[in-house]
Amino acid sequence: MLRHAAHRLASRAAAGSISRRALATAPAPAEAGEDPAFVEAWKKVTNIIDPPQTPMSAMKPRPPTPASIPSKLTVNFVLPYKSEITNKEVDMVMVPATTGLMGVLPGHVSTIAELKPGVLSVHEGNDVTKYFVSSGFAFIHANSITDVVAVEAVPLEQIDPNLVQKGLAEFTAKLGSASTDLEKAEAQIGVDVHSALNAALTG
Amino acid sequence: MAMAAAAVLRRRGSQALLSAPSQVASMGARYPAVPQPEIAILGARSVSTQIVRTRMKSVKNIQKITKAMKMVAASKLRAVQTRTENSRGLWQPFTALLGDAPSVDVKKNVIVAITSDKGLCGGINSTSVKVSKALLKMTSGPEKETKYVILGEKGKVQLIRDSRKHIEMTVSELQKNPINYTQVAVLADDILKNVEYDAIRVVFNKFQSVISFQPTMATILSPEVMEKESESGGKVGDLDSYEIEGGETKSEILQNLTEFQFSCVMYNAVLENGCSELGARMSAMDSSSRNAGEMLDRLTLTYNRTRQASITTELTEIISGASALEG
């Protein structure tokens, strides 16, 4: 009998605490940068699980387009394994777009440019930093911020000219002897990259 | 008289007990394979203490193993954490350009759930699976189709039970070798080739600190949907106002852009999830070894109590026997 009483007491206590807890919890406030429509749709499906965060809330908001053209360009240059340049104020950036080398000055019109293997140079006053980029994208925003996302980039000083010549010869030979479309495409890419490297080192 | 006889019996009984263990001990000496040094010391009353002692040994081994696993996870975490933090800048340009549209309403949704292959990592896989299931419910409706692409064994095992028909493809053994961008790019290419999509939602655990992991969802729109959203003035920012420098048509560039965005977001997501897995494993193993330590304390107390009680009983018998004889 005592056992039953204890059991009833425990269950009543548990039920009481649960209802107390339900009354006590207030709805979680929406975080800054959260999409309210998404949170709404989420809440319709489930109330127990919190909605997942979205990348917008993890990023600092970008400054709006200024009225007059700023004097400096802010550049972000990111690679998969590190952020090479973050929020650096420079005078000019030359990006190797597929249509040719493109110079970006503050106040440039907003553009999305696909990059081909070539040299990216960052001009700050009198010093120029040059990188050889394999490929990627460059986004030029209206607020004079330029984002360059590349798959691989190396400073020009670290490239060995002998290896470049060897690679070029090797891929040209492969292109000549390629049989399938896939091999031809791979060899062509190799030739393109190595000739661009060559041009970057000599030019 | 009878009492004295009983006392003598008792004494001889205790002597017999004392001799039996010596016989056993000698047997142990003759047959060294017989593991009986404990019985030799305490006699037949040691049965309960032996059970406790076996348990103590196994709990101690568990504690050692979980402590070692925690150290291994901690050392791996240090390596992956730097790479994760370096890769965090990778998806930001895309979000800055294209905005984020998690509430986009499209016909074909693909949910890429990133989970771990190995277990013993706390609750992060269950959280990812719960979020994926809720997303499935949220994006389902008439004329709409939602599919799963699962990375990692743990997610596959949990989702295959009730959502088997929604699973499009599964990938495992992702974390076998250290992750690099090329590997993830190939995987992303694979996924994009095999799956028709209007919007891809990548679900993973973002690594905020060693003890805190936040479930996160990144959305990637297909080029057609992106064009539609930008024209209708949706959340994709002013994509239309951007000039396309590329020579080819806008849709080709957008296609390349989407593929590149997907591989970058996947790379960051896989790294973050790997970090969260290691951090969760560290804290799970830490609490496990602490629990094992507490259990060991309790078992030691029980063991000592039993041992002391048996010694006291023996002493009492001997002394009462002796006093019965004298008195």
Tens-digit pLDDT profile for residues A171-185: 888 888 888 888 888
Neighbours of B315 (CB within 10 A): 11
pLDDT score for B31: 46
The total number of residues shown for chain A amounts to: 203
Largest Cα separation within chain B, whole Å, is: 120
Mean pLDDT of chain A: 78
Between B53 and B4, whose confidence is greater? Answer: B53
pLDDT score for B240: 67
Round to whole Å and give the CA distance between B58 and B70.
Answer: 18
Of the pLDDT bands very low, low, confident and very high (cuts 50, 70, 90), residue A161 is confident
Average pLDDT (A44-55) is 80
Average pLDDT (B56-85) is 94
CA distances from B50 to A181, B38, B123, B314 (A): 73, 8, 36, 18
Q: What angle do CA B14, B16, B18 make, to 5 degrees?
A: 70
Average pLDDT (A53-69) is 77
Q: Are residues B95 and A56, on separate chains, in Cβ contact within 8 Å?
A: yes
Between A36 and B90, whose confidence is greater? Answer: B90
Contact list, A81 vs chain B (CB under 8 Å): 83, 86-87, 181
DSSP single-letter state for residue B248? S
Q: Which of A35, A45, A99 sits opposite B103 (nearest CB)?
A: A35
pLDDT score for B67: 96
- Put simply, whether A45 touches B (Cβ < 8 Å) is yes
Between A8 and A151, whose confidence is greater? Answer: A151
pLDDT score for B28: 40
In chain B, % helix, strand, coil (3-state, to 5) comes to: 65, 15, 20
Which tokens hold the place of B190? 């694979």
pLDDT score for A13: 42
pLDDT score for A34: 62
Tens-digit pLDDT profile for residues B309-324:
999 999 999 999 999 9
CB pairs under 8 A between A and B: 139
Residues ≥6 apart with Cβ < 8 Å to A162: none
Of the pLDDT bands very low, low, confident and very high (cuts 50, 70, 90), residue B22 is very low
Of the pLDDT bands very low, low, confident and very high (cuts 50, 70, 90), residue A97 is confident
Average pLDDT (A186-196) is 87
- Put simply, whether A82 touches B (Cβ < 8 Å) is yes
Contact list, A98 vs chain B (CB under 8 Å): 245-247
Tell me if B100 sits within 8 A of A93, measured CB to CB: no
Strand (E) positions, chain A? Answer: 73-79, 82-90, 92-97, 100-104, 111-115, 118-124, 127-133, 136-140, 145-150, 153-155
Distance from CA of A1 to the nearest CA of B (A): 31
Tell me what ipTM this predicted complex has: 0.76
Between B246 and A164, whose confidence is greater? Answer: A164
pLDDT score for A99: 84
pLDDT score for B321: 94
Tens-digit pLDDT profile for residues B111-166:
999 999 998 988 899 999 999 998 888 888 788 888 899 999 999 999 999 888 88
pLDDT score for B46: 61
pLDDT score for B11: 54
Q: Select from B181, B184, B242 the residue whose CB has the most chain A CBs within 10 Å, as the one to mutate to test that interface.
A: B242
Contact list, A83 vs chain B (CB under 8 Å): 86, 88-89
Q: Is the pLDDT of residue B32 over 70?
A: no
pTM attached to this predicted model: 0.78
Of A72-81, B125-134, B145-154, B224-233, which range is least confident? B224-233
